[in-house]
Amino acid sequence: MPEALLIVDYQNDFNPGGALAVSAGDTIAGRINSLARSGRYDLVVATRDWHPPHHSSFAERGGPWPVHCVRETPGAEYHPALDRDPIDVEILKGQVDGSDGYSGFEDTELARILAEHGVDAVTVVGLATDYCVKNTALDALRAGLSVTVDAGAVRGVDVEPGDSERALEELRAEGAAVS
Ligand SMILES: [Zn+2]
């Protein structure tokens, strides 16, 4: 049963000091790296939020978020604590105007690449639990994949307190394993 590790948006802007920092986002790098190096996964995929300047998800355009992860800027780079060596495939998402692009499957080649490798199970880690991790995991379930979320390797934005916990509950209810 080929399994992929999906590392979601482990980027500077989502880590402390970034434009849309997730509290304690930097504390999960060790866990992500150890999973990526474990040899347990047939494929290690990393997504990055990769917005055009003035993307529709930004507040200046009436969207919910401050300017973040503009393509080819330091904020859109991987956080330096992330070990890039184990990464087999990189997916750039959030490039389409008019769409939030929360899911790694949205307007990307991810589904095709997983299918090409015969992947039928994924473990999802990264940032943020209540947005891009959640939506990536939901799309993986919709694609018929077996989905695990490693709760020790995700952190959430929690715009409303408890959002991350509710996201994990929703994923459990939809059929994901949360470990
Ligand atoms: Zn974004």
C-alpha 104 to ligand 1 mean position (Å): 11
3-state secondary structure of 126: strand
CA 57 / ligand 1 centre spacing (Å) = 7
Of 156, 143, 140, 83, which Cα lies nearest the Cα of 171? 140
In CATH, the number for domain 3-178 is 3.40.50.850
Per-residue pLDDT, averaged over 93-98, amounts to 96
* pLDDT score of 1: 82
pLDDT at residue 93, as a whole number: 98
**Catalytic annotation on 85?**
no
The 8 Å CB, 24+ separation contacts for 151-154 are 151/178, 151/179, 152/28, 152/31, 153/28, 153/31, 153/32, 153/35, 153/125, 153/126, 154/28, 154/124, 154/125, 154/126, 154/127, 154/128, 154/129
What pLDDT is recorded for position 39? 97
Where exactly are the structural domains of the chain? 3-178
- Give the pLDDT mean for 148-177: 97
Question: What pLDDT, in 10s, does the model give residues 28-57?
Answer: 999 999 999 999 999 999 999 999 999 999
Q: What is the mean pLDDT of the chain?
A: 97
Residue 122 CA to ligand 1 center (angstroms) comes to 22
